[in-house]
Amino acid sequence: MTNVDRAKKIKIVLMDVDGVLTDGKMYYIPDYNGKMVEFKAFNSLDGIGLRLLNQFGIIAGVISGRESLGTEERARILCMKYIYQGFVSKLEPFKEILKDSGFTPQECAYIGDDWTDIPVMKKAGFAAAPKNSLPEVKKAAHFVTKNSGGNGAVREVCNFILKSHGHWGRLMESVEAAHWPPFQKHELKIVSRSTVKKGV
């Protein structure tokens, strides 16, 4: 099966955050009370790609090993449907999301860059990895991007999926006409490992 055939089936795109939606760097700066606050940067090209998927009815979500309020806000801005944070082991969130959405593994794309992503990548119908991912991760991927994580890798995957679905011509017409379909807003399902452990 070709990557185009795999991507044609995709109805939901899940991804890691650090090293995929970001370049993997984290910055710690003290706030007014001296408490350290974590900062990370997201790429606007990736954001537009995810919003375009949304316009064509393809759902997005993240499964991250870390917990971050910034990631949660970014997921809201991009009209994502799922955000699972604090899960180093990602198979259970993956299965839960598929059960909740009603999609099959073959209808799910996953983008990852580190060892913790490999189990999900092996289950997903279309697995992608940024070019700076670990060698074992790239080996598990169907598609390796030309761009690195946090620098357009996610946009590259989004564009490939849109082209595979046959949406590219319509999308270019929208660009020329400066006309954009309305975004589909989803109620964001937020699951944090820390609250799950506490039974909240």
**What's this model's pTM, rounded to 2 decimal places?**
0.92
The answer to whether the CB of 170 falls within 8 A of the CB of 64 is: no
C-beta separation of 112 from 121 below 8 A: yes
SS3 166: coil
How confident is the model at residue 183, as a pLDDT? 79
- Measure the N-to-C terminal CA separation of the chain; round to a whole number of Å: 43
Residue 200: what pLDDT?
Answer: 41
Type of residue found at 35: K
Within a 13 Å sphere around the CA of 11, how many CA atoms are in the beta-carbon half?
A: 10
pLDDT of residue 196: 53
Q: For position 82, what pLDDT does the model report?
A: 98
CATH architecture assignment, domain 3-198: 3-Layer(aba) Sandwich (3.40)
The burial of 82, by beta-carbon neighbours within 10 Å (0-12 exposed, 13-18 middle, 19 or more buried), is given as: buried
Average pLDDT per block of 10 residues along the chain, 200 residues long: 97 98 92 87 96 95 94 95 96 97 98 98 99 98 98 98 96 87 85 64
pLDDT at 44 (0 to 100)? 96
Burial class (CB in 10 A: 0-12, 13-18, 19+), 127: buried
- 5: closest CA among 159, 163, 172, 145? 163
CB 140 within 8 A of CB 130: no
Q: What is the pLDDT of residue 38?
A: 86
Question: Structural domain boundaries of the chain?
Answer: 3-198
Q: How far apart are CA 184 and CA 168, in angstroms?
A: 19
